[in-house]
Structure 1
Amino acid sequence: MTDLSGALLNTNRRSNWIRLRTFIMLRWIAICGQIVALLVAQFGFGLELYYGLCYMAVGVSVTGNLIATFVFPENRLLTEKENMAMLLFDVLQLGFLLFLTGGLHNPFSFLVVAPVSIAASLMPIRSALFLGGLTIVLVTALLEFHIPLRTQNFFILRVPDVFLFGNWAAIVIALFFSSLYSRRVVSEMSSMGEALAATQMALAREQKLTDLGGVVAAAAHELGTPLATIKLTSAELMEELEDNSDLYEDAALIRQQADRCRDILRSMGRAGKDDLHLRKAPLSTVIEEAAEPHMGRGKEIIFDHFDLLDGPEILRRPEIIHGLRNLIQNAVDFAKTSVWVETECSTESVSVRILDDGPGYPPHLIGRIGDPFVRYRKSARDIKKRPGYEGMGLGLFIAKTLLERSGAEISFANGISTLGDRSAETGPRGAVVEVIWPRAKVDAAMNASAIGKGDNPLHQS
């Protein structure tokens, strides 16, 4: 999972995810808008502009789009430098048009925000800052350096200076706000998508391990007959080769190894059949199965099963086992000496609490526990205690996602457990995770169709 997480965290790869077709389509839309605006200004309002230069600027965009369309395949993924060049061209082309059409007196001057917002959501921070800074310089220069808007009577159209400065301030603020907003949203969506992909991989792995039992059982059944034949044939050879000690020993070795293969397949087949048919199990058994890989890691895991004398048999769903296993792993990782796993059952709900005697969750991250790729600055004490640990919150995110998929509600907290006298005797706890299912979601008796059993009808011969 570490290698996967490291690859997924490379957010700079987003700058290589955009197809050339996307930029071509967006630029055609911008070109159509620019042409319409120029035609309305020329024939609708009769403004006196340098239309030759204006249409030349639009023509450069048209030429660039045509070259990109016929020279390069539209499904080509652009590199970071190519994306930067495309956005830089759009900013400069729009800036030149604004210079020819009144600068910030032109109400379309706000369009310079669009390329910077796209850069903020796609490009590395350095490239986005460069394009944003260049746009601010360009907008500032347009305050003084521009060709005024004139009517046919050579009346200059301009806004008062206070509104002109307001336009400049609004554009600069919009650059910062829209860039930060779009970058934050896209980064959040990207991280969530990557984490969900990791969750699906974890669930698929758990499902494969579950299904492997059926394959093992089938293999043990199919190989039983050939091994029985080998054993029978080797026994007959041993009878015929009693006078030849060397060949007799070889035949005896064949029979011995056939018996060994039979014993191995018998044990594998038993395990496979158990896994194949054990679609349900007592709640306490499922909890202990989830904790089993972490039982020998030097921390004591204490199971407290309250009110389970008439406890339910629950579905052995891979997401439940894997999710609880991740939560228990996290508790074992941070516990000092002990981890408590407490289960309760009522007529309405089934709950599991996992507690440890470690330092607990960082208080400032309590509200973000379960989000993917949550990092916090570790103290020197934490680094010394766990020098090789690079927690990113992905394990807790996977556990939370899988358990919520099974219908559970999960809460994270720090403090002292209040589950009764037995819990109070253990004293203060560190981190506390509580998982609560509606009983109807996990009780095997209420989900008979999920167990996969069916009637075996009798056939008359």
Structure 2
Amino acid sequence: MTTTFPGFQSADIGANMVRQRTLILLRWMAIAGQVAAILVASQVYGLQLPLGLCALAVGLSVVANLVLIMLFPETRRLSEAEAFLTLLFDLGQLSFLLFLTGGLTNPFAILVLAPVTISASVLRLRSTVVLGALAILAVSTATVWYLPLRFADGTALVIPGIFAFGFWLSIVIGILFLGLYSRRVATEMRSMSEALLATQMALAREQKLTDLAGVVAAAAHELGTPLATIKLVSAELIAELDAQPELQEDARLIREQADRCRDILRDMGRAGKDDLHLRQAPLSAVLREAAEPHLSRGKQVDFAFAPIQDGAEEQPSILRRPEVIHGLRNLVQNAVDFARSSVWVEGEWTARRIIVRITDDGDGFPPGLIGRIGDPFVRARRSDPDVEKRPGYEGMGLGLFIAKTLLERSGADLSFANATDPFLAPKERPERSGAVVEAVWDANDLIAPPTQGGLGENTRIEG
């Protein structure tokens, strides 16, 4: 299912994801490593290197870093194009340095993986594919076109062809594997972060609605006495102003407006009060409240409440927690969206457990996705019949993720299943043939604590 929140939009991958300072720091590390490798190769092992050209290659990176530091603040976040060009420059500089230092006979050729891995983590797929293709092209070119490494006596370093081929193949496979792996992990982390943000917004919205209802009801309670006084005084004025019809009409108007204020406040306060009685409610009342927005959407929603055989007979009174109500509401919405005609909401309890089960008569969960239900942004290609059944559904799984997260936060253990085999013929299916979602709470997590000496006086809402 999907849930929309004002002000929440999925982050655009690659847009302002990387700070300039991060890439500058990585480049300084690469420069230090390149300088150390060149000095060790030439001074310790006596390899003949074109030191002037090598210094030019390293100097280009130094100049690029200094220019970026002078022109832009280090905390600046790079755009997609800027990050791509930065990584492309690093790839080109490294490829030029490999050309000068033996191509794939240089073991540091493996570092060509770095720009591709960074791109896969922070840039769009298109940019990563282009950078990966260029990296493979650079590595392939380095196998045949390079300045060979020469020892102090002038002999060239030659490696067997099969070794060169194996090194080339390992780098290409590394580019593909690490690119896919890094992108997959980064995408899932971003999806989880965005989904958790949406969950927090959903809970905050539900809490605000609950608080608003309490404020309105408290205002109605506090204004009840002055409105009653106004009505009483206006009635006395009406009785005393028989000889002055104009003033008597004004008094009647005052009484009518007082009655109108009373009715408005009564209607506004129907959603609830900051009343100790309404901080808890029977299990049946909470489930009906959660399902209420979806009762008039053209599907039959049936409720059933009963104790399990070894449980307590009396229906438990549970806390009206916003996360529980919002989570159950999302599950009911999902069931109503996909049901053919009916949805069943059942509440059961024992002395130790509370069980809520939501079933529909639709096609059930896709068998291949049951194990992934509750993951955010699960996408699946939709067939034309699915589009006709639920045209507004985007298939991202965010609503179920929010419901699962909120209910598990309240202590629930959720399970998802199908009521029957989805491959049965329509005539062979029982009435309850669709998806089944079951939430089980430990009674201590949900049942309202007992109060001593009654619930006491209602509390004033401050602020």
TM-score normalized with structure 2 length: 0.89
Q: 1:32 Cα deviation (Å)?
A: 1.2
Cα-Cα RMSD = 2.7
Contact residue 358 and residue 429 of structure 1 kept, 8 A: yes
* Structure 2 residue corresponding to 1:316, chosen from 317, 320, 326: 320
Q: Distance in 1 between matches of 2:3 and 2:328?
A: 20
Q: Distance in 2 between matches of 1:276 and 1:455?
A: 8
Contact residue 203 and residue 322 of structure 2 kept, 8 A: yes
Q: 1:109 Cα deviation (Å)?
A: 0.3
The match for 1:348 is 352
Greater share of helix: 1
User: 1:140/1:444 Cα in 2 relative to 1: closer, same or farther (>3 Å)?
Assistant: same
Q: Secondary structure at the match of 2:69?
A: helix
Q: Distance in 1 between matches of 2:408 and 2:223?
A: 41
Matching of residues 62-461 of structure 1 within 5 Å? 62-224=62-224, 226-228=226-228, 230-231=230-231, 234-235=234-235, 238=238, 241-266=241-266, 268=268, 272-273=272-273, 277-307=277-307, 309-416=313-420, 427-445=431-449
Q: Distance in 1 between matches of 2:187 and 2:51?
A: 42
Q: Secondary structure at the match of 2:78?
A: coil
Structure 2 gaps of 5+ residues are: 422-428, 459-463
Q: Secondary structure at the match of 2:18?
A: coil
Identity across matched positions, percent: 60
Amino acid corresponding to residue 400 of structure 2 in structure 1:
L
Q: Distance in 2 between matches of 1:59 and 1:213?
A: 66
Contact residue 3 and residue 398 of structure 2 kept, 8 A: no
Q: Secondary structure at the match of 1:157?
A: coil
Return 355-364 or 291-300, whichever deviates more. Answer: 291-300
Contact residue 215 and residue 272 of structure 1 kept, 8 A: no
Matching of residues 6-85 of structure 1 within 5 Å? 8-9=9-10, 11-12=12-13, 14-85=14-85
Q: 1:40 Cα deviation (Å)?
A: 1.4
Return 136-145 or 372-381, whichever deviates more. Answer: 372-381
Contact residue 191 and residue 373 of structure 1 kept, 8 A: yes
Q: Secondary structure at the match of 1:441?
A: helix
Q: Distance in 1 between matches of 2:238 and 2:15?
A: 73
Q: Secondary structure at the match of 2:356?
A: strand
Q: 1:294 Cα deviation (Å)?
A: 1.4
Q: 1:2 Cα deviation (Å)?
A: 6.0
User: 1:440/1:158 Cα in 2 relative to 1: closer, same or farther (>3 Å)?
Assistant: farther
Q: Secondary structure at the match of 1:387?
A: coil
Q: 1:233 Cα deviation (Å)?
A: 5.7
Contact residue 416 and residue 427 of structure 1 kept, 8 A: no
Q: 1:17 Cα deviation (Å)?
A: 1.7
Q: Distance in 1 between matches of 2:383 and 2:270?
A: 50
Q: Distance in 2 between matches of 1:145 and 1:268?
A: 80
Listed one character per residue, the Cα deviations across residues 92-126 of structure 1 (whole Å, up to 9, x for unaligned) are 00001111111111111000011011112222222
Q: Secondary structure at the match of 1:158?
A: coil
Q: Distance in 1 between matches of 2:358 and 2:404?
A: 13
Q: 1:225 Cα deviation (Å)?
A: 5.2
User: 1:218/1:17 Cα in 2 relative to 1: closer, same or farther (>3 Å)?
Assistant: same
Q: Distance in 2 between matches of 1:454 and 1:153?
A: 98
Q: Distance in 1 between matches of 2:123 and 2:270?
A: 56
User: 1:320/1:126 Cα in 2 relative to 1: closer, same or farther (>3 Å)?
Assistant: same
Q: 1:385 Cα deviation (Å)?
A: 2.8
The match for 1:422 is none
Q: Distance in 1 between matches of 2:156 and 2:275?
A: 84
Contact residue 16 and residue 78 of structure 1 kept, 8 A: yes
Q: Distance in 2 between matches of 1:46 and 1:454?
A: 90
User: 1:386/1:268 Cα in 2 relative to 1: closer, same or farther (>3 Å)?
Assistant: closer
Listed one character per residue, the Cα deviations across residues 409-429 of structure 1 (whole Å, up to 9, x for unaligned) are 111111249xxxxxxx97442
Structure 1 gaps of 5+ residues are: 418-424, 457-461
User: 1:58/1:277 Cα in 2 relative to 1: closer, same or farther (>3 Å)?
Assistant: farther
User: 1:44/1:160 Cα in 2 relative to 1: closer, same or farther (>3 Å)?
Assistant: same
User: 1:272/1:280 Cα in 2 relative to 1: closer, same or farther (>3 Å)?
Assistant: closer
Amino acid corresponding to residue 356 of structure 2 in structure 1:
V
Listed one character per residue, the Cα deviations across residues 326-364 of structure 1 (whole Å, up to 9, x for unaligned) are 111111111111111122222332211111111111112
Contact residue 337 and residue 390 of structure 2 kept, 8 A: no
Q: Distance in 2 between matches of 1:219 and 1:294?
A: 29
Q: Secondary structure at the match of 1:341?
A: strand
Amino acid corresponding to residue 205 of structure 1 in structure 2:
R
Q: Distance in 2 between matches of 1:153 and 1:205?
A: 76
How many residue pairs end up in the alignment?
445
User: 1:262/1:8 Cα in 2 relative to 1: closer, same or farther (>3 Å)?
Assistant: closer
User: 1:251/1:455 Cα in 2 relative to 1: closer, same or farther (>3 Å)?
Assistant: closer
The match for 2:424 is none
Contact residue 3 and residue 399 of structure 2 kept, 8 A: no
Return 179-188 or 121-130, whichever deviates more. Answer: 121-130
Return 347-356 or 224-233, whichever deviates more. Answer: 224-233
Return 43-52 or 133-142, whichever deviates more. Answer: 43-52
User: 1:183/1:441 Cα in 2 relative to 1: closer, same or farther (>3 Å)?
Assistant: same
User: 1:229/1:455 Cα in 2 relative to 1: closer, same or farther (>3 Å)?
Assistant: closer
The match for 1:459 is none
Q: Distance in 2 between matches of 1:398 and 1:230?
A: 48
TM-score normalized with structure 1 length: 0.89
Listed one character per residue, the Cα deviations across residues 112-169 of structure 1 (whole Å, up to 9, x for unaligned) are 0110111122222222111111111111010011111112122322322111111100
